[in-house]
Amino acid sequence: MRQHVWEGDWLSFEQAPDRLFDEHGYDSLALLETHSRIKRDYGVEIAEDDLGRVRTPRELVDFVNARLPAA
């Protein structure tokens, strides 16, 4: 999931996966766009409450990976 979702930002996220999204320059609009891409590309729905609790790239990846269908 990682490279596809954040294409241009992945290097920053990979180097500091526990930094807050806003420290990476992500605002609420960027998170909503990321949410839409995750839903479209992976079929994982993230409720607004859950999206508000996910604060770092690692938390988002863990959240999405836990909801992906088993291969």
pLDDT surpassing 90 at residue 18: yes
Q: What is the pTM of this model?
A: 0.77
CATH of the domain at 59: 1.10.1200.10
**Alpha-carbon dihedral 20, 53, 11, 25, rounded to 10 degrees:** -50
Domain with 20 in it:
2-67
Quote the CA–CA distance of 66 and 44 in Å, as a whole number: 10
How does pLDDT run across 20-68, given as a tens digit for each residue? 999 888 888 988 898 999 999 889 999 989 998 999 999 999 999 999 9
Q: How many residues does the chain have?
A: 71
User: How many structural domains comprise the chain?
Assistant: 1
